[in-house]
Amino acid sequence: MAKTLTIIEARALCKSFGATRAVDMLDLSILQGEIFGLVGPDGAGKTTVLRMLATILNPTSGHATVTGFDSVKQAESIKAHLGYMSQQFSLYGDLSVLENLNFFADIFGIKNKVRKQRIDRLLDFSRMRPFGTRRAAQLSGGRQKKLALACTLIHEPKILLLDEPTTGVDPVSRREFWDILTELHIAGTTIVVSIPYMDEAERCSRVGLMYRGRLLVCDTPNRIRKMVDGELLALHPENPQRAATLLKGQPGIIEIQTYGDKLHIFVDAAVMRGPEIIAHLAQAGMNCVGPWLAQPRMEEAFISLIGKQAEMTIGG
Ligand SMILES: Nc1ncnc2c1ncn2[C@@H]1O[C@H](COP(=O)(O)OP(=O)(O)OP(=O)(O)O)[C@@H](O)[C@H]1O
Ligand SMILES: [Mg+2]
């Protein structure tokens, strides 16, 4: 990566809500110009991390800096550089698209000619121009998200913190939304985004996997894909649950994951284990389609890492 300036840094960052450790000893460095993805199951702590970085929430212990400023003591200095889009609906439903943009311009003190120019540009950039007079509440889910992003961009922040910006958005709008993020990324904006859909993690320069408040891994998509041992065989058995039980513990089988009616089986050597798997299931009277060799995605790596962590938690 050409740019190596650290723009966001968290050290031993913790946040507790009563007995819940929402974020637990988070260490994180995000470089200027990255698209950094935060993934993890519900309740993993993604929103809490973003809210602390956005200076909305103070940590229980540890500290974070954003553009070199302390997130607690110098929060006001950070805000000018930061755009935060919350997970919840953050617009004024009764106001039109244009009125919402003007409202956010008011908040950031953007006036006159500059305001007009920026709103004009954001309407084009977010593909929202045809909907200028429509009330926010009457926009589709995808357009509401695009408007929320446009409002977040009104003061031209150099860092964007986006909390699940594509949740509940249809696949076409998701793609458009990511095209917009890519344009911002190319223009040099640093983007930290929590991600509900695994395929979106592929678009990030680095991805952090959170689980129960902890950052389990933090690396490039390429390296994360390689974190599971063995080769991956995909298989369509007649009865996936029973097939998984039959295959568990068989020689050379490292790990079995269920994806709907498919099994993803990590083995030590696919060429040898493929025919063995078919034979073993046939012996139990079960037919299957496959197996065929597949490329591990980040999803397999995440499920494997979370599975191991859960076992350790139960075991320990
Ligand atoms: N204000 C709060 N008061 C009490 N508990 C909270 C509060 N905010 C978050 N939590 C708890 O902290 C943990 C982490 O929540 P957080 O919202 O950060 O997770 P998340 O990864 O964003 O989840 P999701 O994918 O559902 O949005 C959860 O157990 C949650 O219930
Ligand atoms: Mg959340």
CATH number, domain of 274, equals: 3.30.70.270
Ligand 1: which atom is nearest the Cα of residue 210?
21
At 315 the pLDDT is 58
Q: Assess whether pLDDT exceeds 70 at residue 193.
A: yes
The atom of ligand 1 lying closest to the CA of 51 is 18
Coil/strand/helix, residue 282: helix
Same-domain check for residues 196 and 240: no
Same domain, 272 and 146: no
Ligand 2 centre from 25 Cα, in Å? 18
In this structure, the answer to whether residues 257 and 158 fall within a common structural domain is no
Q: What is the CATH classification number for the domain harbouring 183?
A: 3.40.50.300
Q: Specify the residue with its C-alpha closest to ligand 1, atom 30.
A: 43
270 part of a folded domain: yes
**153 domain-assigned:** yes
Structure tokens at 124: 């084009």
Return the ligand number nearest the Cα of 41: 1
- Rounded to whole angstroms, the Cα distance separating 297 from 302 reads 9
> Across 166-287, where does the E strand assignment appear?
190-194, 206-211, 214-219, 231-237, 253-259, 262-267
Mutation pick for ligand 1 pocket among 46, 85, 87, 210 (CB with most ligand atoms within 8 Å):
46
Q: What is the pLDDT at residue 93?
A: 93
Q: Does one domain contain both 246 and 173?
A: no
Regarding whether 66 and 148 lie in a shared domain, the answer is: yes
* Residue 99 counted as domain residue: yes
Query: Each residue of 62-103: pLDDT tens digit?
Result: 999 999 999 999 999 999 899 999 998 788 999 999 999 999
- Assign 173 to helix, strand or coil: helix
139 and 262 part of one domain: no
- The mean pLDDT value for 149-175 works out to 92
What is the rounded CA–CA span in Å between residue 87 and residue 210? 17
- Residue 82 — φ and ψ, nearest 5°? -120, 140
Whether the per-residue pLDDT at 115 is higher than 90: the answer is yes
Mean pLDDT of 162-191: 90
Q: Which residues contact 261 (CB under 8 A, 6 or more apart)?
A: 236, 240
Phi, psi of 83, deg, nearest 5: -120, 125
26-46 confidence digits (pLDDT tens): 999 999 999 999 999 999 999
Asked if residue 241 and residue 189 are part of one domain, the reply reads no
Distance in Å, CA 48 to ligand 2 centroid:
7
Instruction: Tell me: do 168 and 290 sit in the same domain.
Output: no
Residue 62 to residue 227: CA distance in whole angstroms: 29
pLDDT above 90: percentage of residues in the chain: 83
Give pTM, 2 decimals: 0.91
Ligand index nearest the alpha carbon of residue 23: 1
In a domain, 253, yes or no: yes
Separation of CA 227 and ligand 1 centre (Å): 27
Domain boundary among 193, 225, 257: 225
Pocket of ligand 1 (CB under 6 A): 17, 20, 22, 40, 42-48, 87
**303 within a domain of the structure (yes/no):** no
Residue 252: which of 279, 225, 226, 227 has the closest Cα?
Answer: 279
Residue 304 lies in a domain: no
- Domain annotation covers residue 241: yes
Indicate the number of domains in the chain. 2
Please indicate, yes or no, whether residues 19 and 149 belong to a single structural domain of this protein: yes
User: Which pLDDT score is estimated for 2?
Assistant: 52
Same domain, 221 and 235: no
Bigger pLDDT: 226 vs 49: 49
Q: Please name the residue whose Cα sits nearest to atom 1 of ligand 1.
A: 17
Cα gap 4→9, rounded to integer Å: 13
The reply to whether 110 falls in a domain is: yes
Given 207, 225, 243, the domain boundary residue is 225
Residue-wise pLDDT tens digits, 208-237: 999 999 999 999 999 999 888 899 999 999
Separation of CA 303 and ligand 1 centre (Å) = 20
State the DSSP H helix or E strand holding residue 177, giving kind and residue range, or none if neither.
helix 171-186
Average pLDDT for 135-148: 93
pLDDT for 316 beyond 60:
no
pLDDT for 311 equals 80
Residue 52 half-sphere exposure, CB side, CA atoms within 13 Å? 27
Q: How far apart are the first and last CA of the chain?
A: 39
> Residue 86: nearest ligand to its CA?
2
Distance 61 CA to ligand 2 centre (A): 20
Where is the domain boundary, 225, 256, 281?
225
- Res. 4 pLDDT band, cuts 50 70 90: confident
If asked whether residues 103 and 170 sit together in one domain, one would say yes
The residue range of the domain holding 211 is: 6-225
Nearest atom, ligand 1, residue 50 CA? 18
- Which residues lie across from 255 on neighbouring strands? 266
Residues 86 and 217 reside in one and the same domain? yes
Q: What confidence tens digit (pLDDT) does each residue in 236-295 have?
A: 999 999 999 999 999 999 999 999 999 999 999 999 999 999 999 999 999 999 899 999
